[in-house]
């Protein structure tokens, strides 16, 4: 099984390159992070399939191409403080921890947050702080951030998150309806914000005061 997973991991990296993931630091972080650790045992054989998988509490671990695309869009150099909204399995946080100076990640489900924290500890990733709370409001106590990534879909660009960015900081998140969203990249500027789309996507909803109602 281990050899099969290694082969699948190589195929996944090749497919990510073919799909336009060109940041070698992002590819190296994905290669170094065992996705099988972040999926339920019954889904382990599909750990390196380029698809989302259920992780409990009605949530999913995102498709690897989406993880890579969002991470690449953050343009990380290694010195940034990053806020992640929607810890989920902890996989995206593990990728970010290998690419940024420090990561704050917020999860609304305590069960998922605890599982993610254990996995991150198991990998020796000590530059991540996991919190339980309403991530739709960000995490003001540790603001400002150089980058923010949201792994759930908001009905509109959450201005409370933009406000927690430094000038020049980048926010990446899906925005749209429950059924379809656009993956947006927002840069905070001195005069407001610049927005561009990376294309269509489908995420679970961002539930909370700054997102969708329960």
Active site residue ranges: 62
Residue 52: is it exposed, middle or buried by C-beta count within 10 angstroms (0-12/13-18/19+)?
Answer: middle
Q: How many CB atoms lie within 10 A of CB 121?
A: 13
Distance CA 195, CA 188 (A): 9
The answer to whether 74 and 149 are in contact (CB under 8 A) is: yes
Taking Cα atoms as reference points, which of 146, 166, 163 lies closest to residue 101?
146
CA distance 29 to 105: 18
Tokens of 132: 């339980």
Question: Which residues lie closer than 8 Å to 169 by C-beta, 6 or more apart?
Answer: 144, 145, 146, 147, 148, 187, 188
């Amino acid at each position: 099984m281990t050899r099969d997973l290694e082969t699948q991991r190589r195929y996944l990296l090749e497919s990510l390159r073919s799909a336009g993931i060109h940041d070698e630091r992002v590819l190296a972080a994905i290669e170094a992070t065992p996705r099988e650790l972040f999926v339920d045992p019954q889904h382990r054989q599909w750990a390196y399939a380029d698809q989302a998988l259920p992780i409990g509490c009605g949530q999913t671990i995102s498709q690897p191409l989406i993880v890579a695309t969002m991470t690449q869009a953050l343009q990380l150099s290694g010195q940034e403080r990053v806020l992640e909204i929607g810890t989920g399995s902890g996989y995206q946080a593990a990728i970010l921890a290998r690419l940024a100076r420090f990561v704050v990640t917020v999860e609304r489900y305590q069960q998922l947050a605890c599982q993610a924290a254990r996995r991150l500890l198991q990998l020796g990733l000590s530059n991540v702080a996991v919190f339980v709370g309403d991530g739709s409001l960000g995490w003001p106590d540790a603001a400002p951030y150089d980058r923010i990534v949201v792994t759930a879909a908001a009905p509109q660009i959450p201005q409370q998150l933009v406000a927690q960015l430094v000038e020049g900081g980048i926010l990446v998140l899906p925005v749209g309806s429950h059924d379809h969203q656009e993956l947006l990249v927002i840069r905070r500027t001195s005069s407001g914000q610049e927005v561009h789309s990376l294309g269509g996507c489908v995420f679970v909803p961002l539930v909370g005061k700054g997102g969708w109602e329960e």
